Amino acid sequence: MKIGFIGLGHMGAPMALNLLKAGHTVSVFDLSSSAMETLAQAGARNAVSPKDAATGAEVVVTMLPAAAHVRSVLTADDGVFAGCGDSATIIDSSTIDPTTARDMARMAEDRGLTFVDAPVSGGTGGAQAGTLTFMVGGTTEQYEHVVPVLKGMGKNIVHCGGVGTGQVAKICNNLVLGITMAGTAEAMALGESLGIDPQVLAGIMNTSTGRSWSSETYNPYPGVVSTAPSSRGYTGGFGTDLMLKDLGLAADAAKSAKRPAFMGAIAQQLYQTASSRGLGGLDFSSVIALYRDGASVAK
């Protein structure tokens, strides 16, 4: 299949590589020339604009930081809508608000195109291994149409409901993730200050009721999980500023639904403080630095 892929960051680059490995013909576009170069070496065609990447593509995947990027990449004069031929399908895997996803779907439909939201969970490890979970919002027919493409990048492809519901699922998941990571960081740092070996503490949590993905797979304490960003200076994972964005999406959604989101609000303040202290570009598990006495993230 001919696929256009836009957004070759921590997640998008390995996802596009997996589409190439699955035998698709892939045209890529990113603002970063080094990201483009990596994909070109793996066999992708470098496009000069989102429009160019979308030209001739049956499916276009976008993996961009936030809603404003998705809106501009799709709707600009040199954007995806301008390049798509009749009946192309656009899959947006970025984490954005459901309202923008529904707007994009309406605009796509007006042009005879299809738009589905398909945000992911599984982190950069899942993106590399091709084991992501995709949360798809669209009609049953649209969902069935995109499954074969998404299977090249993920393991669990879940139909959440109509367009926008993939983003609803993702926002609710990341609300829990932001809270559990902050809680795990708080507990790990407290344990350290009270004199227990962090490795022993994590082992107890992971065989007890404190266990979560944040404690087991992605523990924020350096050295506890060798493959976690905390063990490589908090690089190459899910940025603090991206978590801050997602908790902002959850807060906005809670406000519009007139529902409380107490824990999310506290977690949002923690990541905002972390960001203001220079941790915005590092993995969100670096929030633990707020709890550790005089700790730099490298400690």
Cβ 43 vs Cβ 18: under 8 Å: no
Active-site residue set: 170
List, as own/partner pairs, every contact residues 198-201 make where C-beta atoms lie below 8 angstroms and the sequence separation is at least 24, other chains included: 198/223, 198/224, 199/223, 199/224
Supply the minimum distance, in Å, between the C-beta of residue 126 and ligand NAD: 8
Supply the minimum distance, in Å, between the C-beta of residue 200 and ligand NAD: 28
Give the length of the chain. Answer: 299
Cβ distance to ligand NAD smaller for residue 191 or 239: 239
Supply the minimum distance, in Å, between the C-beta of residue 3 and ligand NAD: 15
Supply the minimum distance, in Å, between the C-beta of residue 79 and ligand NAD: 9
Residues that bind ligand NAD (CB under 6 A): 6-12, 29-32, 35, 63-65, 69, 72-73, 94-95, 120-121, 123-124, 237-238, 242
Supply the minimum distance, in Å, between the C-beta of residue 132 and ligand NAD: 8
Q: What φ, ψ does residue 249 adopt, rounded to 5°?
A: -65, -40
Cβ distance to ligand NAD smaller for residue 131 or 139: 131
Nearest in space to 95 (alpha carbons), one of 123, 67, 136: 67
Cβ distance to ligand NAD smaller for residue 85 or 281: 281
Cβ distance to ligand NAD smaller for residue 235 or 269: 235
Dihedral of the alpha carbons of 60, 151, 99, 176, in degrees to the nearest 10: -140
Cβ distance to ligand NAD smaller for residue 191 or 280: 280
* Cβ-closest position to ligand NAD: 9
Supply the minimum distance, in Å, between the C-beta of residue 169 and ligand NAD: 12
